[in-house]
């Protein structure tokens, strides 16, 4: 580790242009920094609602206990998004996310654990476009080969051929 640090310092001291170019590529340009910040903080309620609608279409095809639980979770997340948008408009509400999730959980007859699950499910839906699998499916917490991106890419390539 120390040898690598010493070599990096010597290279940086001899030719600073090498490290300067690598840093410039990693940093966003100043013109796009404002646009990137806006993209991060704009409400993505339209995206999440379309994700929820597509998940609801899939759930309506099934008729099982798991489908009913999934329907309950998707309904809670959609109501949470609408209520949170209302709470954000009012200046009196300091924590609109927390207040909205607790209100939805209470209206469904659940407690604070379900309120936390609602907030987590929204983030999971935005990232993966579906709800997490039930804990019964991950009984022994084994990682599947499809969790590995290289294997998933190879499988898609094989199926495309």
> What is the distance in angstroms between the CA of the first residue and the CA of the last residue of the chain?
45
In which band, very low, low, confident or very high, does the pLDDT at 40 lie, cut at 50, 70 and 90? Answer: very low
Note the residue count of the chain.
161
Q: Where are the domains of the chain?
A: 45-131
pLDDT value for 22: 36
In sequence order, the 6+-apart residues with CB closer than 8 A to the CB of 117 are 73
In whole angstroms, what is the distance from residue 155 CA to residue 146 CA?
A: 9
- 87-137 residue pLDDT tens: 999 888 899 999 999 999 999 999 999 999 999 999 999 998 888 887 776
In which band, very low, low, confident or very high, does the pLDDT at 12 lie, cut at 50, 70 and 90? Answer: very low
pLDDT value for 62: 82
**pLDDT tops 80 at residue 34:** no
Taking a C-beta distance cutoff of 8 angstroms, is the pair 76, 104 a contact? yes
């Amino acid at each position: 580790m120390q040898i690598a640090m010493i070599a990096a310092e010597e290279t940086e001291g001899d030719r600073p242009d090498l490290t300067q170019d690598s840093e410039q590529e990693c940093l966003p340009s100043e013109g796009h920094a404002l646009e990137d910040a806006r993209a991060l903080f704009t409400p993505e309620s339209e995206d999440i609602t379309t994700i929820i609608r597509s998940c609801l279409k899939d759930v309506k095809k099934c008729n099982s206990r798991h489908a009913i639980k999934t329907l309950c979770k998707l309904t809670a997340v959609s109501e949470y998004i609408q209520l949170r948008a209302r709470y954000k408009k009012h200046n009196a509400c300091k924590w609109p996310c927390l207040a909205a999730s607790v209100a939805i959980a209470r209206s469904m007859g659940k407690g604070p654990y379900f309120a936390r699950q609602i907030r987590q499910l929204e983030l999971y839906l935005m990232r993966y476009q579906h709800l997490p699998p039930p804990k019964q499916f991950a009984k022994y917490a084994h990682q599947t080969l499809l969790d590995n991106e290289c294997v998933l890419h190879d499988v898609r390539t094989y199926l495309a051929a």
